[in-house]
A and B are shown apart, each in its own frame.
Chain A
Amino acid sequence: MLRYLGKIELKRSFIQYSMLFLFFIFWNFYLLTFFFLFVNTQNFLSFYKNYLWADIVVYEKKSETIKKLTTELKNFEYVKNLKIFSPEELYQKTKFELPSALFSEEEILSFFPYVIRVYVYSVKDLYSLKKYINFLSSLNPSIKLISEKPLKIFHLGSIFSKIFYILIFVWFAFYFFFLYLINQSLNEALKDQTQTFLLLGGGAFKLKLLRNFFFISILFIACIISSLCYFSFAKYMHLIFNFFEIYPDFSKSEHLYYFLVYISFVIVLIPVITVHLSYKKYEI
């Protein structure tokens, strides 16, 4: 009997099911792409977090000044760590590049300052540090800050990660809404059949079962196609930009697990809920 009902459902709802198929290919592809960009941005951010530092150059050779400055810096909450490079260390690092024949070692050493490398937690901290050192520089010109401007992409990355959560929520809400609409449209197209079936003593469970079977099968095929498109895209991106990693990486068990959870949520759970909700109005 399900075969007969399936025949009617497919015949009468070809347009709706085709729309569902095409919609899911795009929806899933864009979701995976968002995720790909998000995870890679996160990687990028966490990588650069260890490189958020600024160098303070102190031309004064008095060790007291250095001590005082480092103690003060350590008291700031935003300072993660400090590293002090003495003039000797700096000289050791650069001596092969210097024209030793012209100057004696002592002379050269006298040119080198102390450098305090200050590691901070965030871009915001870097600005706070800059503000403080600029203030110190105005009091003591022998102290200067050398810091590169934070990369724009770093800024964009942190904004993107915030936008991502909103985007994902909206994207899922859109999916849920679309599936509900498709169901409503299917119910309208098959209203007569559904009513006849129920009035002849059929249960709505069988109709829901059939609808779920069609939904899950169509979404599953669409998911395979769009996932293949996504993986080709991710691979291509990885080839162009080496630092982009492909997610999910199925060689890692946790990635496989998360992907399966995602699939069961998107292909099984949401369709089943929308089918169930949409049928309520049509059960007589």
Chain B
Amino acid sequence: MSLFKLEKVSKIYPPYFKALHNINLRINTGDFVLLTGPTGAGKTTLLKLIYKEEIPSSGEIFFENKPYSELQHKDIVKLRQKLGIVFQDLKLFLDLTVYENIKISLVLAGKKIKNMKFYIYEFLERFNLAHKAQKKVKELSGGEQQKVGVIRALIREPKILIADEPTGNLDPQSIKEILEIFKELNKNGTTIILATHDPFILKQKIGKLIVLSRGEIVKNVEVSW
């Protein structure tokens, strides 16, 4: 089933910067999409269009065959509640603690968990961050902040996971662990869209590989794993 469909989508940032040009793309439920390309190729813009942080300059995006332009505010909220997003710039609440950041994400996803505190601490423990739960995010290192960003997205058990360079500040061991979690989630039915230019991840032959260059798709291949 088609989850996201992009039809002739272009994005121009004023005055003339063409971030994306005439993109046609289809992402199905359960896909594992690896989005890659050099810096400035348009990976982040493409993801921003999918989670509707940006609006296309032309073309149309469909979610479950419904055009974005016809979605109402409440529909957009519902769509975002289904997503788990790891932002490139992390977008963490720096003045709040690790625990509070994760709790907000869980609450906004509409998850009803009996012992939320225990659940969050359990997750943090998996990433060796339980001892930093009550620390303010701004007091953490770059790698730790990145982990919090990943945990915040994963703990929602999303149907769709969008991750923009989620491993940029992480050590090889952490990258391996996160990738394993992503694979596991995908096996259980989660659609994953991962933008990266990490050679380790790209070496793994996972799902669909989309290569972007100067705002255009130059390669769109299915890789079995």
Task: Say whether A associates with B.
Answer: yes
Q: Once the chains bind, are B77 and A203 in contact (CB under 8 Å)?
A: yes
Contacts of A198 in B (CB 8 A): 80
Compute how far the CA of A59 lies from the CA of B215 in the bound complex, rounded to whole angstroms.
105
Closest to B96 in A: A4
> Chain B: how many interface residues by the 8 Å CB criterion?
26
Give which listed residue, B95, B104, B105, contacts A11 with CB less than 8 A. Answer: B95
Closest to A200 in B: B108
Contact A200-B80, Cβ < 8 Å, known A1-B104, A4-B104, A195-B91? yes
- Bits for A165-198, please: 1 = Cβ < 8 Å to B, else 0: 0000000000000000000000000001101111
Give which listed residue, B52, B95, B108, contacts A197 with CB less than 8 A. Answer: B108
Contacts of A203 in B (CB 8 A): 73-74, 77
Q: Which residues 47-73 of B have a CB within 8 angstroms of A?
A: 51-53, 73
Closest to A10 in B: B95
Is A7 in contact with chain B by the CB < 8 A criterion?
yes
Is B93 in contact with chain A by the CB < 8 A criterion?
yes
Contacts of B81 in A (CB 8 A): 201
Among B51, B53, B80, B109, chain A packs the most CB atoms within 10 A around the CB of B80
Q: Once the chains bind, are B108 and A201 in contact (CB under 8 Å)?
A: yes
Is A284 in contact with chain B by the CB < 8 A criterion?
yes
> Chain A: how many interface residues by the 8 Å CB criterion?
21
Q: Give the number of residue pairs across the A-B interface with Cβ within 8 Å.
A: 58
Among A4, A192, A197, A201, chain B packs the most CB atoms within 10 A around the CB of A201
Compute how far the CA of A197 lies from the CA of B100 in the bound complex, rounded to whole angstroms.
13
A sample of 13 more A-B contacts (CB under 8 A), given A11-B95, A196-B93, A199-B51, is A1-B108, A4-B100, A4-B103, A4-B104, A5-B104, A200-B85, A200-B108, A201-B83, A201-B108, A201-B109, A203-B74, A283-B73, A284-B53
Distance to closest chain A CB from B81 (angstroms): 4
Is A124 in contact with chain B by the CB < 8 A criterion?
no
Contacts of A4 in B (CB 8 A): 93, 96, 100, 103-104
- Bits for B161-200, please: 1 = Cβ < 8 Å to A, else 0: 0000000000000000000000000000000000000000
Q: Which residues 109-153 of A have a CB within 8 angstroms of B?
A: none
Q: Once the chains bind, are B91 and A8 in contact (CB under 8 Å)?
A: no
Is B202 in contact with chain A by the CB < 8 A criterion?
no
Is B107 in contact with chain A by the CB < 8 A criterion?
yes
Distance to closest chain A CB from B134 (angstroms): 14
Q: Once the chains bind, are B77 and A8 in contact (CB under 8 Å)?
A: no
- Bits for A1-26, please: 1 = Cβ < 8 Å to B, else 0: 10011011001100000000000000
A-B contact pairs, 20 of them (CB 8 A): A1-B104, A1-B107, A4-B100, A5-B104, A7-B95, A8-B93, A8-B96, A11-B95, A195-B91, A196-B87, A197-B104, A198-B80, A200-B80, A200-B108, A201-B78, A201-B83, A201-B109, A201-B110, A283-B73, A284-B52
Compute how far the CA of A196 lies from the CA of B103 in the bound complex, rounded to whole angstroms.
14
Contacts of B107 in A (CB 8 A): 1
Contacts of B108 in A (CB 8 A): 1, 197, 200-202
Contacts of A193 in B (CB 8 A): 93
Distance to closest chain B CB from A84 (angstroms): 78
Compute how far the CA of A202 lies from the CA of B77 in the bound complex, rounded to whole angstroms.
7
Q: Once the chains bind, are B95 and A201 in contact (CB under 8 Å)?
A: no
Q: Once the chains bind, are B95 and A195 in contact (CB under 8 Å)?
A: no
Contacts of B80 in A (CB 8 A): 198-201
Closest to A1 in B: B107
Compute how far the CA of A199 lies from the CA of B158 in the bound complex, rounded to whole angstroms.
14
